[in-house]
Chains A and B, each alone.
Chain A
Amino acid sequence: MAKENCIISLQGVNKVYDGNTVVNDFNLDITKGEFVTFLGPSGCGKTTTLRMIAGFETPTSGQILLNGEDITRIPPHKRPINTVFQRYALFPYLNVYDNVAFGLKLKKIPYEKTKKDGTVVTKMRHLTREEIDAKVMRALKIIDLEDLETRDISTLSGGQQQRVAIARAIVNEPEILLLDEPLGALDLKMRKEMQLELKDMHKKLGITFIYVTHDQEEALTMSDTIVVMKSGEIQQVGTPIDIYNEPVSAYVANFIGESNIYNATMVGKLKVKFLNHVFDCVDDFPLNEKVDVVVRPEDVEITVIKDEATSDKLVAKITNKIFKGIHYEYVLEVGKSEIVAQSTKDYPLDSMVYIDFEPENIQIMKKELTKNLYPEAYLDKNNKLIISDAKFDVDVSQLLKGSHVDDELYLIAENGKKYDLDDADVIAEIGLGDIEIVDGYDNGNANGVVVSTIYIGDHWQVIVRTQEEEDFVVDTQDTWNEGDLVSVIVKPEKISLTLKGNIDKYEVE
């Protein structure tokens, strides 16, 4: 049931257009007076959701409750909800005053009338000219445009038009104000100003604001609550601080602020391994669990290596440095991985530094593991796939549509072009169910030790770790014991390859 003080509640709302699900099972309660932002990339369904609240679209299924009453099928003009449109949608044939007064002139309010026989009846009447005037002038004052009331819309600047659009909506004293990317058409400086003004207005008016944007900074600056959306589904709901500090998935982390995201493995109690280094952390996850790790650039601690003193800290090389005004932004390299860091201190380019993270700054997120991903694999001269010393037979012709491999192991394209894939860097993907584990140390493509077995519903998930610390996660019906020495076998057709970079550089004459 809806929480207390809930003004609008979306319950299991779905919207399907021509068989495409645009909004999928959307459940959200919004508290009275809250500033809620729907955040997501374009096409994530945020505007559609807003339009369903406004009444321009009807949900395919689900309910929208306003103060507990079902408004799912009520037309927009009967809802106490007003919208500030993306491109303002002002009426160009009316001046500023009449634009703002548009809603008021249509409005009818109840009043009590005593009939001749003494009975009191409730009738509806339009607002008087004076009432409208007072409200319009007050709204124009809120948006700071009192002097422009008689101006034509076309003579206003973008920012001024934006303000008129806001005044036109708030003058009706709606219970909820919907804002559909209202600052999208303004320049950066204007946008920042309007953000603060909107926030201020929200405080003063006490109206519930529902704001739609794809700009994460805007969302962080203004909202009480952020709803992060992806392909029609809610990813996370929380305060800006929660969402920034505790993203639930790599998607949210990536969308909110700049972040370093790595594949990682839990290697001990409160110990996580990524960048080939073990760090302390504060999130408790089961041993050997595959996780995503997020570290914000501002949380990367850089220390200069004083002398040759060896430390067990992670060593990185500064490969790029940009002055950003308040801070420097560094790109550091550890092996083949990159770390983006921000620091107010000035470190020389190309120097070697220590990198460290505070345990609480390492945000660990559960990863829905669907396949084994080997981003640092490559091909050798015999067209075999090398994943840290383990050799696999693969079908390299999948890298180029319509191609085949000739007797000399060159890849021949449809148009006759010839490619030599020796040492080509590829990303290899192997499904969890596509790996076979066999007994013995030398019976397969790679060999290792079973480090983890978990029973998931109807099968075991086994992790085999090689000597080079590469993990193969395998879904199997067989039972294995931790510590077993095993080999893994993967059929060539089960490995999917993606070439890093363009194939053209491997072309031979």
Chain B
Amino acid sequence: MKSNKAKRFFTLQRKYLSIPYIVFLVLFIIVPIGIVMFYAFTYEYTDPVTGVKFISASGQAFLNFFTSWSKWNVLFVSLFIATLTTLICLLIGFPLAYFLADKKVNKNAVFVTLFIAPMWINFVLRTGATRDLLTWMGINGGNHPYVATLIGMVQNYLPFVILPLYTTMLKLDKSQIEAARDLGANPTQVFTKNILPQAFPGIVSACLMTFMPTMSSYVISDVLSEGKITLFGNYIELEFTNKAWHDGSFMALVMLVFIGLTMLISQKSSKEGKKEGGSW
């Protein structure tokens, strides 16, 4: 059967609305990742005969990474700092979020805004200010590089812990807490057996929000430890400034894998923890 209507040249369909984003995605995410991948698995050689430089597929960067003790060391230090930062942030953020979620304390969410306000300030500026403050307090990169870096990290990522935890705490099912009390749980048991499991999705998103960016951050450690602590991000930056594009790209890829792994683990545990999933 033939349609009488002339075929329209263009119909606006809903899916076309995603075009701007797709263009952006391809240009600034897919293509760069492709470039990183390309550099990671190639290496620059100089032809011994002609002296001409050329790029060829190679596992040299791979080899360089896995045989370099200093690179492994940097990876471990980064993992250590990231884990510690996440833990400290949770220890400070969890009780605080629980406290803030009480409507009586936090009328009109003024307090929460106060704690999240640092997120509005550019973090390079903020870090610089922190350095001066720490120096004034006698803690500086010279004498306590680790302490200074940790303080900076915690200060920087605390809002990212408080916000998801606060959102979860707001949604805490009070009747479940009452049910736990009713069934014989004392205040400590109420916390461990009900509030913690209820807040689990929030904890997972809080961990993600801190762990991953801490791993890759380099400005904070750079500024606060006065270059004494080299994190994974610092090292990549170093490689790139030294024009070691292939080694740097491979390390970037390693970090990508790590971040992917943490995402995977947290998603899985989040699913086991609660069907509804995290808020972030």
Contacts and interface: CB of A to CB of B under 8 A. Distances in A.
A93 B273 contact: yes
Contact of B197 (A89, A91, A103, A107): A91
Interface string A40-68: 00000000000000111000000000000
Contacts of A152: 275
Interface stretch (A79-87, A250-258, A387-395): A79-87
Interface stretch (B109-117, B149-157, B179-187): B179-187
B184 A83 contact: no
Contacts of B185: 77, 106
A93 B182 contact: no
A88 to B, nearest CB: 8
A75 B186 CA distance: 9
Interface of A: 54-56, 75-77, 81-83, 85-87, 89-94, 102-103, 106-107, 152, 154, 168-169, 172
A83 B182 contact: yes
What 8 A-B pairs have minimum CB-CB distances, sorted nearest first?
A103-B183, A89-B175, A89-B179, A93-B197, A106-B184, A76-B181, A83-B182, A77-B184
A435 B180 CA distance: 61
Interface residues of B, number: 22
Interface in B178-223: 178-186, 189, 193-194, 197-198, 200
B178 A89 contact: yes
Interface in B93-152: none
Nearest to A79: B182
Contact of B179 (A75, A85, A106, A154): A85
Nearest to A92: B274
Contacts of B200: 93
A154 B275 CA distance: 8
Contacts of B173: 89
B70 interface: no
A102 B197 CA distance: 13
B275 A91 contact: no
Interface residue SS majority, chain B: helix
Nearest to B177: A89
A55 B274 CA distance: 29
A76 B183 CA distance: 8
B183 A106 contact: yes
Contacts of A92: 274-276
A86 B186 CA distance: 22
Contacts of B183: 77, 82, 102-103, 106, 168-169, 172
Given A89-B173, A102-B193, A54 B182 contact: yes
A82 B181 CA distance: 10
A70 B181 CA distance: 19
B262 interface: no
Contacts of B184: 77, 103, 106-107, 172
B56 interface: no
A229 B142 CA distance: 74
B73 interface: no
B179 to A, nearest CB: 4
Contacts of B64: none
A87 B175 contact: yes
Interface in B247-280: 273-276
A47 B201 CA distance: 32
A56 B183 CA distance: 12
Contacts of B275: 92, 152, 154
B189 to A, nearest CB: 6
B198 A93 contact: yes
A76 B182 contact: yes
B194 A91 contact: yes
A320 to B, nearest CB: 44
A77 B181 contact: yes
A94 B173 CA distance: 15
Most chain-B CB neighbours within 10 Å: which of A81, A93, A152? A93
B164 to A, nearest CB: 17
14 contacts: A54-B182, A77-B182, A83-B182, A85-B179, A89-B179, A91-B180, A92-B276, A93-B197, A94-B197, A106-B185, A106-B193, A107-B184, A168-B183, A172-B184
